[in-house]
Amino acid sequence: MSDADGTLTALARALERTQRKVGDLETLVRQLSADVTRLTRARPPAGDETGTAGSGVGGWLAARDVEAGATGLRDLIDWVESVYLRYPDGELPSCWLWHPVVVEELWWLHGAHSTAFDDEEGSWQRIGDWHDRFRPGVARRLRAAVGSCELALHTAGTDLHDGSVVPLANAASDIARAWTTSRALPEPDSQQLVTAERHDRAQHRRGHR
């Protein structure tokens, strides 16, 4: 083999090694890009303290933005009615919106549900976890948190569903405004008290059938 042939062979081998390294780098870049996308979806953007309940962003207890809070509650109410209340133990007292911890529990449960069933992020394991652990755990904690509470107990001087309809959903905007601006929840008005009493009475009857 001539010196020229040897040089060409060495160059060819070096080029082959370089091409393999470039291919490995391209694979690594694609993996890093996918990881960044997952992290972006899993964590709130800088300065974003709340978001829609199903986005996995923020939460209710730390909410500060009135509009985002109201949007998140409307999204949460739709999900509670279409998913959470479909389960036998998925009951809510009429005063659920007046319990920030209840809203927070449902908020993250909604986010976990959305992630579990997401086309890209979801998996059968996550779906199983949601059904087996997350949802029953939230239902159990909500029963412990609110017990037999009712809206009348949230009026001044006190201690503190119809079917699958979320109780007093029309109070969401007032609740969101009060909580995100002052952390002081509004006193229920007379019409809400009547609606709550009717709801709680009907739920009590269903529970003793």
Q: 125-135: b or e for each residue (b if 16 or more CB lie within 10 Å)?
A: ebeeebeeebb
**Of 84, 91, 93, the residue nearest 53 (C-alpha):** 84
- At 187, which helix (H) or strand (E)? none
Q: Which residue has the tokens 């007032």?
A: 174
* pLDDT tens readout for residues 125-164: 999 999 999 999 999 999 988 887 888 888 876 656 444 5
Q: Which residue has the higher pLDDT, 86 or 206?
A: 86
> What is the share, in percent, of the chain residues with pLDDT greater than 70?
75
Do 196 and 150 form a contact (C-beta atoms < 8 A)? yes
Q: How far is CA 41 from CA 36, 45, 56, 115, 157, in A?
A: 9, 9, 8, 10, 44
**HEC per residue, 48-89:** CCCCCHHHCCCCCCCCCCHHHHHHHHHHHHHHHHHCHHHCCC
Res 118 pLDDT > 80: yes
> What is the share, in percent, of the chain residues with pLDDT greater than 90?
49
- Whether the pTM exceeds 0.75: the reply is no
* pLDDT tens readout for residues 79-109: 999 999 999 999 899 999 999 999 999 999 9
Instruction: Show Cβ contacts of residue 14 under 8 Å, excluding neighbours closer than 6 positions.
Output: none
Res 8 pLDDT > 50: yes
